[in-house]
Amino acid sequence: MKPALTGKQRMLNAYRGLPNDRVAIAPEFWYYIPAKVLGVDMLQFERDIPHWQALQATFRKYGTEGWGGVGGAEHNPAVSGDSRWEKISDTQQRLVGETRIGGQTFTSTRIYDVHEPSWTETHPVKDPRDMARVFEIMHAPDVTHDFTGAVRAWEAVGEDYLLECAVCSPFSDVLAHFMGFEAAVEYLLTQAPAVLERMQARYIENKVELARRACERTPFESFFVGCSYACNSLIGPNLWRTWDKPVIRAVAEEVHRHGRLLHIHFHGRCIETVRDFAELGLDCVCPFERPPGGDVRGLDGLRTLERALRGRTTMNGNIHTVETLIRGTEADVRREVGEVLEAFRGNPRVIVGTGDQVGLETPEENIHAMVDECVRRSRGGWPSPG
């Protein structure tokens, strides 16, 4: 009898389109559930506990596979900063950051709460006229990265799950990080194209170099591109194709040149760009949400998705985190798992995951039903021999 595969092996097999001993299961346990598992409030969770470590404990508890991201420490000789904590109340604290970029000081604030994940209160760049200069300095050629901490985390995770190296965010996300979402969209729509094109070219050069260094200096099998705002639901497919897709393409080509894998997170509506994912040769995309947040609707939507991605890109996700995992019954959970596996019958490029983060209110029995149904339906191997 062959030994069972490890969590990491199942994830990598799915990314590579190889058969598994059972289907890979990867609920997006991000903040709420890991904090609950560790018995800490959200403020302590974010301040004191490495995220990769919290995920490891959570995947072990539920007996699932999964993924997480960790990045290298960046050093930019033209950038320095300080931060301080301010108490707002017994349940909230404010982190005030002062960053000096090319001799100019930019202040941002973030709120930490014992009940909820932290959120940005104010962004550093208030005047759009500062953005191009800030962007150029932040992505200068002399920026360096230390991967020591990231590699130590990868070693500590071992075979438990797939810890990926985070290499970049989409271009529009970076603008939003500095300016806020609304200001970033206005900037993309009103700034002179030549200015944006120079910024984009600088960013692509910077992130391709980062990907090259990470591939050459670390053992990570897979690399990760995140997403906060760069999706169809918020910026639409046209802005995404103009400003974000070229970044992802360049990073994917560099990562693949080194024989590594690339995974991107793309929440919200996605059907209009599914063929773009396959065209780029992305190894895995998540989370392919169901309505109303997404647009992959039921078995028919999953079959359309499978046809568009087949042979090129692995689908991770689709179990509805609110309507099914929080509000639904165990039978509802099992039904949605069945739809995913039916749509991808005979296709190794599937991971049963969730449509974004699993909420704190999720009943334990629904999480267990998701795992049990995946195991039951794929026992004996995936793709199923029957």
DSSP 105: E
Q: Is residue 41 part of a domain?
A: yes
143 three-class SS: coil
Beta carbons of 295 and 269 less than 8 angstroms apart: yes
Mean pLDDT of the chain: 96
Instruction: Note the pTM of the prediction, 2 decimals.
Output: 0.96
Beta carbons of 373 and 337 less than 8 angstroms apart: yes
Other CB atoms within 10 A of residue 323 CB: 15
Q: What does DSSP say about strands 104-113 and 119-122: parallel, antiparallel, or unpaired?
A: antiparallel
Percent of the chain with pLDDT over 90: 97
Average pLDDT over residues 339-361: 96
DSSP 73: E
Average pLDDT over residues 158-184: 97
We report the CATH number of the domain holding residue 45 as 3.20.20.210
Q: Is residue 87 part of a domain?
A: no
Average pLDDT over residues 247-264: 98
| Total number of domains constituting the chain | 1
Q: Is the pLDDT of residue 1 over 60?
A: no
Rounded Cα–Cα distance for residues 323 and 19 (Å)? 31
| pLDDT score, position 210 | 97
Average pLDDT over residues 153-161: 98
| pLDDT score, position 257 | 98
| pLDDT score, position 4 | 87
Q: Is residue 92 part of a domain?
A: no
| pLDDT score, position 386 | 56
Q: Is residue 20 part of a domain?
A: yes
Q: Is residue 219 part of a domain?
A: yes
Say whether the peptide bond before residue 141 is cis (omega within 30 degrees of 0). Answer: no
Beta carbons of 328 and 366 less than 8 angstroms apart: yes
| pLDDT score, position 3 | 75
Beta carbons of 108 and 119 less than 8 angstroms apart: no
Taking phi over 0 as left and psi of -120 to 50 as alpha, with beta for the rest, 28 belongs to beta
Q: Is residue 190 part of a domain?
A: yes
Q: Exposed e or buried b for every residue in 18-49, given b needs 16+ CB within 10 A? A: eebbbbbbbbbbbbbbbbbbbebebbebbeee
**Beta-bridge partner residues of 287:** 266
Question: In a 10 Å sphere around its CB, with 0-12 CB exposed, 13-18 middle and 19+ buried, how is residue 190 labelled?
Answer: exposed
| Full domain range(s) for residue 371 | 7-75+128-378
Q: Is residue 99 part of a domain?
A: no
Q: Is residue 285 part of a domain?
A: yes
Beta carbons of 354 and 321 less than 8 angstroms apart: yes
Q: Is the pLDDT of residue 288 over 90?
A: yes
